[in-house]
Structure 1
Amino acid sequence: MLHGAAKPQMRDAVTISAQESVLHAISELLIEKFEVPADEVRADAPMRELLTDSLMVVEMAIAVHETLGVKVEEEELRATTLAGFAEAVGARCTDR
């Protein structure tokens, strides 16, 4: 019985780890590629405030696809927080 109970916990740990990895990758893109100050890159920061113009939004969509292999819509980048966006991208990474 304990063996069966451990499997969901392991899967949850992998999912959380993957989510954190995606959040880290997107944060690094914001800081390194888009030169967003590191202190502004917070989980609760709205993506529309981190990517201040439409060209940045398009470039981020391309960068996420190149880096993580996940296609994202520009509207997704405008409509959520960094954490929400990372969660959506992470879900697609684990679904593959």
Structure 2
Amino acid sequence: MSAYLAEKGLLGRGGKPVSAANLRRHFVRWRIYHVWAEHRVGTDDPAPAEVARVCGERGITAQYNKPVTPTLIAGERAEFERRWQTLTHQPTPDTP
């Protein structure tokens, strides 16, 4: 993944490829975001407890293999929503 990102011009500090350790710490958040985004399709404010429950069912754990908690989800809500808006934003055609 690090080499692929470097080929695409996405580099870490000092212009070097992003380290595996850096990528690893973000991977869990991406998996949790995916579950949150599935719920976001149906509601403007996914319930943190429900997202945490689904993460548990899928075997998604937080750092050090701890369960994903509603508190963790709630703490990520603003970032998840920002990402959601960025990824789902559809530009509107210019009208004359």
Could you say whether these structures have the same fold, taking a TM-score greater than 0.5 normalized by the shorter chain as the test?
Answer: no
Bigger share in helix: 1
Question: TM-score category by the smaller chain?
Answer: 0.3 to 0.5
- Which structure carries more relative contact order (alpha carbon 8 Å, separation 6+)? 1
Normalized against structure 1, the TM-score is what?
A: 0.40
- The structure number with the bigger radius of gyration is 2
Normalized against structure 2, the TM-score is what?
A: 0.40
